[in-house]
Structure 1
Amino acid sequence: MLSPEPHSEVATDGDPVWIVPLPRHSHYDHVRLKRVFVDDGTRHQVVMVDASKLLQCANRDDTDYVLKSVDDWHAGKVRGIREFLDPDNARIPEMPYVTITQRKRRSLMGWLGIEHEGVVAFRNGQHRARYLAYAGAEIFPVEVAEREAELLISLCGVNRP
């Protein structure tokens, strides 16, 4: 069962802010996130993602920048991201910004061109995404180029009954 879905509010500067509940976090119960690209002409879209699906796709990224789980971070890194995301801060952090592609799955069926899997790469916000999931966020917003939004929705989007 998915936790309560994030909702949006409007900041004092008029831009939307997404409130993401953190049910397993002892320091605060939510975070606020804003868009990376606020200008409508940037051709980016906000997509609500299932945290576990997104991170599963991100773990397939074969570049050299896939983070370990939060449990493996040093204490200073954990404290730093916790302070950065603190909703009492005046500055509202940006939501993660991702790209997504699809590749043949490494299996016999993949070699036959039948099975595919999603691969997410973070342009920005990988620490935020992993920490949000660690703190219990099952759903949160990310920003993606419009041309990749449908693929992200199909592979990592929130499926509600």
Structure 2
Amino acid sequence: MSTSASLHAVALAPSAGPGSVWLVPLPRHPYYDHVRLKRVFEDDQSRHRVVVVDAHKLLECAARDDTDYVLPPVGNWHSGKVKGIRGYLDPDNESIPAMPYVTIAARRVRGVLGWLGLQREGVVAFRNGQHRARYLADAGAAAFPVEVHEREAALLESWCGYVAPAMPAPTADTVQGLHLGDL
């Protein structure tokens, strides 16, 4: 990694400039504990933005896409595909994979409430990176960055944006998150 690149923890940085490297923790992955991702459009003038998405919400919105190819779960991929994506995302590789690139729209839900215009749903389509996104989610990534055109960033944030879990309120027997009984 070049010394000019800046690192971002995925849940802590909602956007990043050119040269940024995003680290995505993989708590359920036996081969490595994180992946590195970079922006698709590294030029800030590209009018694309990084949004940190909730992995589950993103894939839920992607499952609604009836215009593009939607991949099956990782467990249904052939072993060569799984091995290939695992090798591609390996953080020991010199090259850094690009984060998924998506587009999003809102549409009326099927049924009376949708027909009346009272209920809508987000629909995500992958322009690139659907295998990466599904593999990251399967490996336990709660959230990861994706790139989207700036005019769709707010909509993506509203439907799929990641909200970090709240820290429990300190109690009389905890100090800085440590239980006094552990000291």
Instruction: Return the TM-score normalized by structure 1.
Output: 0.91
Residue 99 of structure 1, aligned match among 99, 103, 122: 103
Whole-angstrom CA distance in 2 between matches of 1:53 and 1:108: 24
**Cα distance per residue 1:95-146 (max 9 Å; x no partner):** 0000000000112211111000000000000000000000000110000000
Match of 2:27 in 1: 23
**CA-CA distance at 1:6 after TM superposition:** 4.3
Is the CA contact (8 Å cut-off) linking 2:10 and 2:22 kept in structure 1?
Answer: no
Whole-angstrom CA distance in 2 between matches of 1:7 and 1:106: 36
Q: How does 1:133-148 map to 2 (within 5 A)?
A: 133-148=137-152
Match of 2:5 in 1: none
Paired residue total: 153
Residue 153 of structure 1, aligned match among 157, 170, 174: 157
* 4+ aligned runs moved over 2 Å, structure 1: 4-8
2:147 alignment partner AA: E
Match of 2:42 in 1: 38
**Cα distance per residue 1:70-99 (max 9 Å; x no partner):** 010000000000000000000000000000
Higher Cα Rg: structure 1 or 2? 2
Q: How does 1:42-81 map to 2 (within 5 A)?
A: 42-81=46-85
Q: Which has the bigger relative contact order, CA under 8 A and spacing at least 6? A: 1
Whole-angstrom CA distance in 2 between matches of 1:102 and 1:42: 23
Is the CA contact (8 Å cut-off) linking 1:47 and 1:149 kept in structure 2?
Answer: yes
Match of 1:11 in 2: none
Percent of aligned pairs with the same amino acid: 67
1:154 alignment partner AA: S
RMSD (CA atoms): 1.4
